[in-house]
Amino acid sequence: MELGEKPATWDSSYTAVADPTKQPQGIISVLENVLSDFEKMEAETKSQEEVDQKEYEESMKQNEIEKAGRTQEVEMKTAEKGRRVEKIASLSSQKKNTEGELEKTDQYLVDLKPACVDGDSTYEDRKAARTQEIEALQKSQQILLDAFKEKDVAAPEGKFLQVRRHVQ
């Protein structure tokens, strides 16, 4: 159909196109085209669904592997946390004991300070007293050794203690 330069408004009736390739030849050809398009769309949809299903299954398999790895990691980290909490408790107990010992040692040093540092005598005085005591003990030991030596009974030498030997 050819329109002139100024087409008339739509007051003329419908006329079919003479070229069958441009316009369908009736409702049957329209339905056949729709059926063909539907079959094509159905085949594409099924194909796409199969591809999507394979992608879904692959994704689920990877997620299961990831989940198993993460679950194992959680178990390992939970066990490590338990070991560390136990070690912290042990070290805290050890620290408490050590602090107690340190406190006792500090108190002992405080208690020794008056006698050792601030005492009524100096180190030199205490050393001299010990030296005199050692000399006195050595003299008394020598006196005792001399007193028990065998002496001639007939000639006492004015010793305080005279020992006789009795033979049986």
Distances (CA, A) of 164 to 1, 133, 167: 172, 32, 9
* Residue 147, in any domain of the structure: no
Domain assignment present for residue 168? The answer is: no
Give the pair of three-digit tokens for residue 4. 């002139």
Determine which of 10-24, 30-44, 105-119 has the lowest per-residue pLDDT on average.
Answer: 10-24
How far is Cα 36 from Cα 55, in angstroms, rounded to an integer?
A: 29
92 belongs to a structural domain: yes
Quickly count: other Cβ atoms within 10 Å of residue 119's Cβ: 13
Q: Quick: pLDDT tens for 79-117.
A: 999 999 999 999 999 999 999 999 999 999 998 887 777
Cβ atoms within 10 Å of 24's Cβ, excluding its own: 15
Q: Outline where DSSP puts E strands in 40-85.
A: none
Within-domain flag for 2: no
Contacts of 30 (CB under 8 A, 6+ apart): 24
* Residue 131, domain member (yes or no): yes
Q: Residues 117-152: pLDDT tens digits? A: 777 777 888 899 999 999 999 999 999 988 887 664
The tokens for 56 are: 């879904």
Contact 150, 135 (CB under 8 A): no
**For 26, left (φ over 0), alpha (ψ -120 to 50), or beta?**
left
91 within a domain of the structure (yes/no):
yes
Cβ burial of 30 (10 Å; 0-12, 13-18, 19+) is: exposed
Residue 1 lies in a domain: no
How many structural domains compose the chain?
Answer: 1
Enclosing domain of residue 55: 27-140
Residue 38 within a domain = yes
Residue 154, pLDDT > 50, answer no
